[in-house]
Structure 1
Amino acid sequence: MEKITRISNELKDWILQTLKSGVNPESIVAAMVKKGFDQDFAYLTMLRILNNQSLKTVDGNQSPYMYESIEIAKRGNIITTTDREVKVLLKMDKPCIIYLDNVLSIEECDQLIHLSTNRLQPSEIIDPITGEKKAVPGRTSKGAYYHLNETNLIATIERRIEEITSHPLNHGEGLQVLNYNIGEEYKAHFDYFPANQIDMDKGGQRIATFLIYLNDVGAGGETIFPKVGLSIVPKKGTAVYFHYGNSHGQVDRMSLHSSIPVITGEKWVATKWIRQTTICQNSQMNEVLT
């Protein structure tokens, strides 16, 4: 079988992200070789990346990401749902980032934190090379996962997200609640999958993220979009929506983001990842249980 001796921009980005999260270069090279990359090519690629040298990619001439009109951006400055009015506080087109107020009530935020406290587990990432879940130093939060409509509270929040974004409920992964204590962070990363990890049986590529802030943070804990110089300060009940996948199968590399370390207090957020198509219920349950 012929060994792989080419690398895409997307995979290069994910290698950089994985290095920043604390995974050592030898482990990444070993994973590349396991996935069919030529060993010498894998080592040379890693050396070039570590030394900030230019690296030729197979999609070096790839067309720029094509921004498309999305439903949430057409809704005006106030989005009306079944049970509340959500206010648009900030809107950016390229990349698509929308900051929203009054997404959850104070009581709903407190209830979700209380519900999640006793089921927190160390957060993991999906390895961009192997597809395996693993804990890494660059993601130091703890998380709790829910399947769709698991409780009345979860069902209410899921329905509201569907109404705000116009994405069908079954296009979304189950809600994830994350807790960051002092010094904890999630280094710069993308939420979309590398091309070799897209599973159409599980809804295909991630195309958008809906991130809800469940508490105020005394200092630190901002969500940073470094390629556009944007910093979102956590405010209880607000949410940030960002869209990074289009109908042509492209992903927006401008969506790179991080959660910087908490300096004072703690940080609670709820994350909803949205896929390009329907996720079957069995896949939802498997994601929660594994």
Structure 2
Amino acid sequence: MAASPAQPITPELRAWIIEQAATGISAPALIDAMTHSGWREEVAVDAVEQVLRGHLDQLARQQGLPPAAAVPEPALDESPRWLDAGDRQVEVLMSLANPRVVLLGNVLSQQECEALIAAARPRMARSRTVATATGGEEVNDDRTSDGMFFQRGESELLQRIEQRIARLLHWPIENGEGLQVLHYRPGAEYKPHYDYFDPAEPGTPSILRRGGQRVGTLVMYLNDPPKGGGTTFPDVFLEVAPVRGNAVFFSYERPHPSTRTLHGGAPVIEGEKWIATKWLREREFT
């Protein structure tokens, strides 16, 4: 599989990449093999990404899945330790490719966490979820928390955090919903669910008129519950501990379980949990 760095992606190379990936060889291992064969690393990375993404899109079409959409994405191509979020440096703690999950540290300061809780506390009410059957909202037994929504940009604090998120995830501010703050008391939880809107539900078209599908989620932890309250991803047996100032980001390029973004809020065992969630849409959210 020798190749010169300038060589285009040939049918033979495409078939080799797909064949190797199908046997379980990881993308980094494929890139390493290509660089040892004479490819420049950046060319090998682009070739592997292009071939595998195209192959997955082809498989999705064959299976009748919805088309893939552009998604928010931190700049992780060179495996940086820190990301520039404008007014602060954000730490990259963990990155998972499938599903796309990135754990980030130092997203919010202690003072910002406390200020969000203080601003949200007087406005808390029993959490509601979007009712895709009708396009409205409803109380859901799977979500036993209290919550509230800020309007986008309603305060200097919100504006600062929204600008930071936009820069961090390379996604326009106007494509984000207003920040939601949730409060979980002992025993409260949010059972596993998807954040995208189910295309099969009758109320989804009216929801999508406000900005298209959700394509990404950022969950920011505002305090440190002593036990429980993690964010779980059952499809990959991953649980993210809630640590004040940290955040977990995940994206989903199509509204389908193939994204493996099933997730939930584990029950709080001791203490309480406060989080702030930012949902990101395909287009401007109005």
State TM-score, norm by structure 1: 0.71
Structure 2 residue aligned with 1:260: 266
Equivalent residues of 2:70, 2:282 under 8 A apart: no
State the distance in 1 between where 2:173 and 2:257 align. Answer: 22
How many percent identity over aligned positions? 39
State TM-score, norm by structure 2: 0.72
Equivalent residues of 1:175, 1:272 under 8 A apart: yes
Equivalent residues of 1:139, 1:186 under 8 A apart: yes
Structure 1 residue aligned with 2:283: 277
Q: Secondary structure of the equivalent of 2:168?
A: helix
Larger Rg over CA atoms: 2
State the distance in 1 between where 2:227 and 2:127 align. Answer: 22
Structure 2 residue aligned with 1:147: 151
Q: Secondary structure of the equivalent of 1:143?
A: strand
Of 174, 183, 196, which residue of structure 1 is paired with 2:178?
174
Deviations 1:17-36 (A, max 9, x none): xxxxxxxxxxxxxxxxxxxx
Of 98, 101, 112, which residue of structure 1 is paired with 2:102?
98
Of 224, 227, 231, which residue of structure 2 is paired with 1:223?
231
State the distance in 1 between where 2:275 and 2:134 align. Answer: 27
Extract structure 1 runs of 4+ deviating beyond 2 A: 59-71, 73-77, 127-132, 198-201, 249-253
Deviations 1:229-288 (A, max 9, x none): 100000000000000125xx76744100010110110000000000001123xxxxxxxx
Task: Give 1:213's aligned amino acid.
Answer: Y
Deviations 1:210-233 (A, max 9, x none): 110000010000100000010000
Post-superposition offset of 1:61: 3.3
Of 106, 114, 124, which residue of structure 1 is paired with 2:118?
114
State the distance in 2 between where 1:240 and 1:266 align. Answer: 19
State the distance in 2 between where 1:177 and 1:187 align. Answer: 17
Residues 1:162 and 2:170 aligned together? no
Of 225, 247, 254, which residue of structure 2 is paired with 1:239?
247
Structure 1 residue aligned with 2:64: 62
The alignment covers a number of residue pairs equal to 220
Deviates more, 1:230-239 or 1:188-197: 188-197
Deviations 1:168-193 (A, max 9, x none): 00000000000000000000100000
Residue segments in structure 1 that go unaligned for 5+ positions in a row:
1-58, 281-290
Cα RMSD of the aligned pairs, angstroms, is 2.3
Residue segments in structure 2 that go unaligned for 5+ positions in a row:
1-60
Residues 1:135 and 2:139 aligned together? yes
